[in-house]
Amino acid sequence: MTDPLLSVESLRTTFHTDQEVVRAVDGASFSVAPTETLGIVGESGSGKSVTARSVLGLVEEPGRVHPDSSIRYHDPAFVQRTARAHPDATFWGGDVDNEPDDAFVTVHEGEQSGENAVVKRGSVDLVSAPDAVVQQVRGSEIAMVSQDALSSLNPVYTVGNQIEELLGIHRGLSGREATETAEELLRNVGIPDPERRLREYPHQFSGGMQQRAVIALALACDPSVLVCDEPTTALDVTIQAQVLDLLARLKREQDLSVVFITHDIGVIAQVADSVAVMYAGEVVERAPVERLFDVPKHPYTRGLLRSIPGVATTGDRLPTIEGSVPTPSEAATSCRFAPRCPEAFDACHEVHPDAVRVAGEEEPAERDAPPAENGTQSRENGKPPAADAAPGLPTANGEHTAACLLYPATLSTGERVERHDGDDRSNRAPPSRTDASGAAGSGVSE
C-alpha cells in the first residue's frame, strides 16, 4: 500500500460573516493516490468548491481553514525540497500524530543530513506551512481548472500571453521557446491551429475551446495533481464528452492525479476511480467507483443514484430528494442529512455519525475493531494493518466507508448508535494547536 499523493483529513473551513458563521467544510477527509482520479460529488452548497480552494490555500477573509485540519502533500521530491529549505520545521519521526506544533514537514523514510537530506517518504502539511511554501505548491504541484472557463481567463490578455506567463514562472521558459511550448500545449489539448489561437483573446474562443485553453493553462505548470472544479458543467453534452476524453488522455500521458469535482454523478461514473460523496460540508460516503454504483450504502448516495435520468425505471416522475442542502452554521450534533433521509430514525437526529467501514452484507460480520483513530475507518477484520501504512492516514485503496447510523449493518441499532456516539465522544482531537474557540469535534452546540 503506497502513500497517497494528497491526503486531506478533518478539513474544516468556516466563513465568518456579519450575519452568520458558515461551516462550508466541516470535517471532510479523503485522499488521492498517484495517477488516481478522485471524484467528489455533491449538490450545490455541499462544500465541494470550498474544499478545492482550501486545498490550494485560496480561502481568504472572511473564510478560514481551521488549523486542526490537515492537508498533506506527499510527493517525495517536493517534500525533500521543502525539508532542505526548512530543516527546523522538519520532523523526522514518522508518526504524524506526534508531529510537534511548529513542524509542517514530516518525513517517514529518509536520511536527515541537513542540506542534503534525502526523503523517500514524507509529507508537507499545507495548512500549517507558511504561505511561501504553499505558493510553491500552487501550479507546480497542484493546478486548478475551474468551471466558468471564460471568466477564468483574463479578458484583456491573449491566451498565449497567459500560457507563456505560467511557462515562465513554472518552467523558466521565455521567448521563442515559450511560444513553441505554448503551441505544443494547445495542440495537445486539441485546439487546432494553435499559432493563430495563441494571439487571440479568450472571448474569441468557443466554449469548448475555452475550457481546453484553461486545461492547457493548468498543464503549463506541469503539475502532479489536477483539481477540476466542475469543468464540464457549463458545456453541452457533446463538448462535455470531448473534454472528458481529453482529460482521460492527458491523465494517462502525464501520470496525473485528478480531483474531479462535480454534481453530475453520471460524469463521475465515467471519469472517477474512487468517489467521495459530500453533503453539507461532510464526506458521507467513500468508495471505489464500481462499488459505489453497485452497492451504494448511504441513503443520500442512493437518492442521488436514483435521480439519474435513465436509471429510474418506474413511474413518470423522476425521483428526487425532497428539500435542499442546509448551510451548517454550528458544529454537527446530529446527522445533517436526517431531515431529508427516508430511512432516518430517532437517533439520527441526536447522534452525529462517523465514517465507518461498510462491508457488503454478505461478508462475515466484523468483530470489534480497536477504537478507530480520529474518527476514520477501522481496519479490516482480522487482517493486520499493512505494515508500511503510515498510521492514522485515511487510505484510499479499495475501502468503502459511509457516515451513517445504519452502518456497520452487522451491529444492532443500539450498538451502532453507541458506536457512533462513543467514538464521537472519545474522539476529541488531542489538545494540540487548539484555540480558545472550541476544539474540533467536540459535539457541543454553540
Partner 1 sequence: MSRVRYFGRRILLSIPVLVLGGTFTFLVFRFSPVDPAAAIVGTAATEEGVAEYNRVRAELGLSQPVLDHYWAYMLDLFTLNLGQSWVVSQGTPVTDLLNTYGLRTLWLTFWAVLIPIFVGIPLGVYAGLHANTKVDYAVSVFGIVWRAMPNFWLAIILLAVLSQSKSILGFDWSGFIVDTALIGTPDLTNLTTVDGFLEATKRILPPAIVLGSASMGSELRIARTAVLETINADYVENAKANGVPDRRVVWKHVLRNALVPLVPTVTNEAFLLIGGSVIVEVVFGIHGIGWLFFQAALNADMPLVTALVFVFIVVVVGINILQDVLYALIDPRVGYDAR
Q: Which stretch binds partner 1 (CB under 8 A): 200-208, 254-262, 355-363, 420-428?
A: 200-208
Q: Which stretch binds partner 1 (CB under 8 A): 51-59, 70-78, 301-309, 341-349?
A: 51-59
* Least distance between partner 1 and beta carbon 152 (Å): 4
Nearer to partner 1, 136 or 381 (CB): 136
* Least distance between partner 1 and beta carbon 437 (Å): 22
Restricting to residues 230-269, name those near partner 1 by CB under 8 A: none
* Least distance between partner 1 and beta carbon 96 (Å): 26
Nearer to partner 1, 143 or 372 (CB): 143
- At 430, the amino acid letter reads P
Q: What distances in angstroms separate CA 331 from CA 119, 158, 327, one per listed residue? A: 38, 46, 11
Binding mask 165-184 for partner 1 (x = CB under 8 A): xx--xx--------------
- Asked if residue 138 binds partner 1 (CB under 8 A), the reply is yes
What secondary structure does DSSP assign to 175-238, as a single string?
Answer: HHHHHHHHHHHHHHTT-SSHHHHHTS-GGGS-HHHHHHHHHHHHHHT--SEEEEESTTTTS-HH
Nearer to partner 1, 151 or 174 (CB): 151
Q: What distances in angstroms separate CA 4 from CA 74, 147, 172, 407, one per listed residue? A: 7, 26, 29, 26
Of 142, 283, 312, the residue nearest 222 (C-alpha): 142
Q: Which stretch binds partner 1 (CB under 8 A): 10-18, 96-104, 132-140, 422-430?
A: 132-140
21, 58, 318, 444: residue in contact with partner 1 (rule CB under 8 A): 58
44, 112, 151, 324: residue in contact with partner 1 (rule CB under 8 A): 151
Nearer to partner 1, 206 or 313 (CB): 206
* Least distance between partner 1 and beta carbon 150 (Å): 9
**Cis amide prior to 62 (ω within 30 degrees):** yes
Cell of 107: 518525513
CA distance 424 to 430: 13
- Asked if residue 212 binds partner 1 (CB under 8 A), the reply is no
7, 146, 262, 427: residue in contact with partner 1 (rule CB under 8 A): 146
Nearer to partner 1, 216 or 403 (CB): 216
CA distance 23 to 84: 36
Residues engaged in binding partner 1 (CB under 8 A): 53, 56, 58, 135-136, 138-140, 143-144, 146, 148, 151-157, 162, 165-166, 169-170, 201, 203-204, 214, 217-218, 220-221
